[in-house]
Amino acid sequence: VVTSPKPIKEEVEFATEPCKVALVGFGTVGRSVARILTSRSSQDLRLTHVVNRNVDRKRVDWVPRDVAWTQSFDDVLNSDIDVVLELVGGLDPAEHWVRRSLESGKSVVTANKQLIARHGPALQKLARENGVHLLFGASVAGGIPVLLGLQEGLGGDRIHRISGILNGTCNYILSQIENAHISFGEALEQAQAKGFAEANASEDIDGYDARAKLTILARTALNADLEPEQVATRGIREVEQIDFAYAHDLGCTIRQISRAEVKDKTLFAGVQPALVPQSSALARVTGSQNVVVSAGEFGGETVFSGHGAGGDPTAVAVVSDLLWLSRNRHNRVTAESKSAADLTISGDFKSAHYVRFKVADKPGILAALANVFSRHEINVDAVLQQAGHSKSALPFVITIEPCRVEKLRKALAEIRSLDFHVAPPVDMPILT
């Protein structure tokens, strides 16, 4: 049988046909994406639909007239678009819409960390089954191309550790406590007034936003089969000005750190406030900036940093995914998923620790604490006490030599029942 080669003209037309994009969710990121798409001179991406509830109040005059504004997602599914760009956020209806898009043969680009952290592997499987693509480069660290960097740029290495600052709201609040010498409550109010934090800021300050991002990072970089609930997660509510004063004495500052590390078939994963050396890349990150540091077996440490949020930086990551798709959308052979490594998940990191006490002063307190630590075979490294505090609520710090978190927690559970506390002890790892 003689088959005639495809006409060259048809191939050229095929390759230059614009990639048709339906933008679902015309909010902060959606508007910025529309701005970028409509201001590009290149014809490779064409915005065809904008979907939003009560869409009439969203209309803007700078979007080309031939773009269809609709509140019906079915209009998108029934059209000949190539890509659904999901920017509504949350799980419902985002998950349903993404599933329907993939099932009907449309690729999906999303910035939705909750969706990908919770359903990413299942949705990727669905994409593969339907010969389409699911890209989510903007779901972690906004405009920093960290997922692509880890997956492609560092694909030749074996990464064993990632750590980072993945939530700009926490970083802003901690920076304000440190630099403006205000309380956690005041810093939170400021963040809310400036639009850096939601009215209900729990997602950020209790660590759930960062743990969703860490889940996605660990799957990408460490090939880990991780669910968000398996990440040991603590918020930043307990951090006070006095903790920064003591952290500075130790040459450190305090940041909300997300970290995951593979050691001997165990994946340690956690999000929590931690002391980091002032000279480290993690300490230098301010405001809504994000940073991710990866450690590879061959290439050593690599630092990714930049704008972790905001409409425009996030939109850049989204448009970059769209451009990748416009080049690769006809390649129906999607990469097979690597089967996840067989790892036990744990939050029981080994590190040095900072423990801050606030006590009604009386003789024998240090002896009582030393007694409990020694019974739990925990070595005290140093005791720090700054002058000038009231004896009725005296803060001091004990640093602990490297030990497992669980061991320290057991000792602290016992210590909490002692009668001299004015506030419960606050413990944080000291990361070197």
Ligand X SMILES: NC(=O)c1ccc[n+]([C@@H]2O[C@H](COP(=O)([O-])OP(=O)(O)OC[C@H]3O[C@@H](n4cnc5c(N)ncnc54)[C@H](OP(=O)(O)O)[C@@H]3O)[C@@H](O)[C@H]2O)c1
Catalytic residues: 213
Residue 157 identity: D
Q: Please, which of residues 377-396 interact with ligand X by CB under 6 A? A: none
What are the φ and ψ backbone dihedral angles of 79, each rounded to 5 degrees? -100, 180
Does position 176 interact with ligand X (CB under 6 A)? The reply is no
Is 193 or 387 the residue whose CB approaches ligand X more closely? 193
Is 274 or 292 the residue whose CB approaches ligand X more closely? 292
Is 123 or 359 the residue whose CB approaches ligand X more closely? 123
Token pair, residue 277, equals 């050396």
Binding segment (CB under 6 A) for ligand X, from list 158-166, 199-207, 307-315, 325-333: 307-315
Residues 6+ away with beta carbon under 8 Å from 9 = none
Q: Considering the complex, what minimum distance in angstroms separates the CB of residue 68 from ligand X?
A: 15
Distance of CA 103 to CAs 88, 98, 127, 139, 404, Å? 19, 9, 8, 22, 46
Which of 93, 277, 299, 402 binds ligand X (CB under 6 A)? It is: 93
Residue 194 identity: K
- Strands lying side by side in the sheet with 83-86: 68-70, 45-51, 19-24, 83-86, 107-110, 134-135
Distance between first and last Cα of the chain: 68
Binding segment (CB under 6 A) for ligand X, from list 49-57, 334-342, 390-398, 413-421: 49-57
Q: Considering the complex, what minimum distance in angstroms separates the CB of residue 285 from ligand X?
A: 16
Binding segment (CB under 6 A) for ligand X, from list 216-224, 292-300, 309-317, 332-340: 309-317
Find out whether 232 and 272 touch, Cβ atoms under 8 Å.
yes
Is 26 or 304 the residue whose CB approaches ligand X more closely? 26
Does position 34 interact with ligand X (CB under 6 A)? The reply is no
Residues 6+ away with beta carbon under 8 Å from 361 = 391, 392, 394, 420
Which of 34, 88, 108, 400 binds ligand X (CB under 6 A)? It is: 88
DSSP, res 273:
E
Q: Please, which of residues 131-170 interact with ligand X by CB under 6 A? A: 138, 142
Does position 53 interact with ligand X (CB under 6 A)? The reply is yes
Binding segment (CB under 6 A) for ligand X, from list 87-95, 247-255, 274-282, 384-392: 87-95
Per-residue binding string, ligand X, 101-130, x by CB under 6 A, is ----------xxx-----------------
Is 29 or 394 the residue whose CB approaches ligand X more closely? 29
Alpha carbon 190 to its chain centroid, in Å, reads: 22
DSSP one-letter string for 104-127: TT-EEEE--HHHHHHHHHHHHHHH
DSSP, res 354:
E
Q: Please, which of residues 10-29 interact with ligand X by CB under 6 A? A: 25-29
For 290, how many CA atoms within 13 A lie in the half-sphere containing its CB?
28
DSSP, res 33:
H
Q: What is the C-alpha to C-alpha distance for residues 256 and 219, in angstroms, rounded to an integer?
A: 20
Is 138 or 292 the residue whose CB approaches ligand X more closely? 138
Token pair, residue 120, equals 């990413």
User: Angle of helix 28-39 relative to helix 311-328, nearest 10 degrees?
Assistant: 60
Binding segment (CB under 6 A) for ligand X, from list 46-54, 158-166, 383-391, 396-404: 46-54
Find out whether 409 and 235 touch, Cβ atoms under 8 Å.
no
Does position 314 interact with ligand X (CB under 6 A)? The reply is yes
Residue with the closest Cβ to ligand X?
A: 27
Radius of gyration, alpha carbons of the chain: 25
Q: Considering the complex, what minimum distance in angstroms separates the CB of residue 381 from ligand X?
A: 39
Is 273 or 313 the residue whose CB approaches ligand X more closely? 313
Q: Considering the complex, what minimum distance in angstroms separates the CB of residue 256 from ligand X?
A: 16
Per-residue binding string, ligand X, 401-420, x by CB under 6 A, is --------------------
Token pair, residue 201, equals 């800021």
Q: How many residues bind ligand X (CB under 6 A)?
A: 22
Binding site for ligand X (CB under 6 A): 25-30, 52-54, 87-89, 93, 111-113, 138, 142, 309-311, 314
